[in-house]
Amino acid sequence: MSSIVDQILREKEKQDAVILAHLYVDGEVQEIADFCGDSYYLSQMAQKTDAKVIIFCGVEFMAESAKILNPEKLVLMPDRAADCPMAHMATVEQVQEFRDKYDDLAVVCYINSTTELKTVSDVCVTSSNAKKVISNIPNKHILFIPDQNLGGFLAPQFPDKEFHFVDGYCHVHHFMDPEQVKTLKAEHPDAKVACHPECNPEVRALADYIGSTTGILKYAADTDAEEFIILTEIGVAHRLRLDNPDKQFFFPETRPVCPNMKKVSLEKVLRVLKDHKDPIEVAPETAERAKKCLLKMHQWGG
């Protein structure tokens, strides 16, 4: 009996499938992926791929975005229950209320959002391209949904604009405890602190670098330090340790773990490759409306 990894690789080849994995899924799943990275990188790979089948090892909004960009492809998730709670933390009604209030409003939607929210937004962003994308927006008033933390990190970088927020957050990053970060800093005074912008403002204030998941990997590789305190989901430890065997990485005592990303397993990847169960479906008219703001992100953020 061949190993599960061999079976996945064989099945993938047979079906002309590509496996995309976010850096927060388990290391063994990252290892079998064709492309592994942050949300923006994966969206770019989903847009470029020639494969007939996309297996998305991540959460629902990522797989739906891949389907919207590739309506003709079969997009599958190893576990359809892997959803991002933050994606649902804004409503179409809230967006309409802000549109009624401000004539020149631009609605900027973090890619971590439902497809429905994308249909009523002007442009999407991820944490790695948000600054570049927003620099292209002429409007003074910006409604940033749903993540108040990424929005709060971006707003001071655009002093001429007026930002508005809803109170969405990522529970993994938002509830990180600044006291635990201070303790780590005291234990490792020479360590550099790299932080995801989804973290709360008190935690962000303790960081030497703030950036996306891929940004954090790059910062750790390029920075001349031996120790790093990493303030994002624990899944990045896999690549950090592989890429930097001589460096040490420390995470807060309360481990930042995304239970949804952790639903993806090798067994489920193999199963969905074989049974093609519950493919991602987005109604064509909805997909067409949501696609506009994803394409604008690729145009402005590329």
Query: Interface residues with ligand 13P (CB under 6 A)?
Result: 38-40, 84, 112, 126-128, 170, 198, 212-213
Residue 112 sits in the site that holds ligand SF4 (CB under 6 A): yes
**3-state DSSP call for residue 141?**
strand
Among 59, 133, 143, 150, interactor with ligand SF4 by CB under 6 A: 59
Task: State the residue for tokens 């002429």.
Answer: 138
141-145/105-110 β-pairing:
parallel
Q: Give me the half-sphere count of Cα atoms (radius 13 Å) on the Cβ side of residue 4.
A: 12
Residue 199 sits in the site that holds ligand SF4 (CB under 6 A): no
Residue 85 sits in the site that holds ligand SF4 (CB under 6 A): yes
DSSP 253-288: SS----TTGGG--HHHHHHHHHH--S-----HHHHH
Residue 126 sits in the site that holds ligand SF4 (CB under 6 A): no
Q: Which does 120 bind (CB under 5 to 8 A by kind): ligand SF4, ligand 13P, none?
A: none
Which is closer to ligand SF4, CB of 32 or CB of 199?
Answer: 199
**Which of the ranges 81-89, 123-131, 215-223, 243-251 carries the binding residues for ligand SF4, by CB under 6 A?**
81-89
Nearest Cα to Cα of residue 76 among 20, 121, 32, 114: 20
Residue 236 sits in the site that holds ligand SF4 (CB under 6 A): no
Residue 152 sits in the site that holds ligand SF4 (CB under 6 A): no
> How many angstroms separate the CA atoms of 57 and 69, rounded?
17
Cα–Cα–Cα angle for 98, 66, 259, nearest 5°?
80
**3-state DSSP call for residue 219?**
helix
Residue 112 C-beta: closest distance to ligand 13P, Å:
5
Q: Which does 128 bind (CB under 5 to 8 A by kind): ligand 13P, ligand SF4, none?
A: ligand 13P
Q: Which does 213 bind (CB under 5 to 8 A by kind): ligand 13P, ligand SF4, none?
A: ligand 13P
Residue 258 sits in the site that holds ligand SF4 (CB under 6 A): yes
Residue 108 C-beta: closest distance to ligand SF4, Å:
16
CA distances from 66 to 40, 160, 163, 175, 274 (A): 11, 34, 28, 29, 20
Residue 260 sits in the site that holds ligand SF4 (CB under 6 A): yes
**3-state DSSP call for residue 237?**
helix
- Tokens found for residue 197: 């912008």
> How many angstroms separate the CA atoms of 281 and 74, rounded?
9
Residue 7 C-beta: closest distance to ligand SF4, Å:
27
Q: Which does 85 bind (CB under 5 to 8 A by kind): ligand SF4, ligand 13P, none?
A: ligand SF4
Nearest Cα to Cα of residue 87 among 265, 260, 297: 260
Q: Which does 217 bind (CB under 5 to 8 A by kind): ligand 13P, ligand SF4, none?
A: none
Task: State the residue for tokens 């080849």.
Answer: 13
> How many angstroms separate the CA atoms of 10 and 5, rounded?
9
Which is closer to ligand SF4, CB of 11 or CB of 83?
Answer: 83
Which is closer to ligand 13P, CB of 40 or CB of 56?
Answer: 40
- Tokens found for residue 283: 């109604």
Residue 215 C-beta: closest distance to ligand 13P, Å:
7
Among 170, 269, 287, 290, interactor with ligand SF4 by CB under 6 A: 170
For ligand SF4, the binding residues (CB under 6 A) are: 24, 59, 84-86, 112, 170-172, 233, 258, 260-261
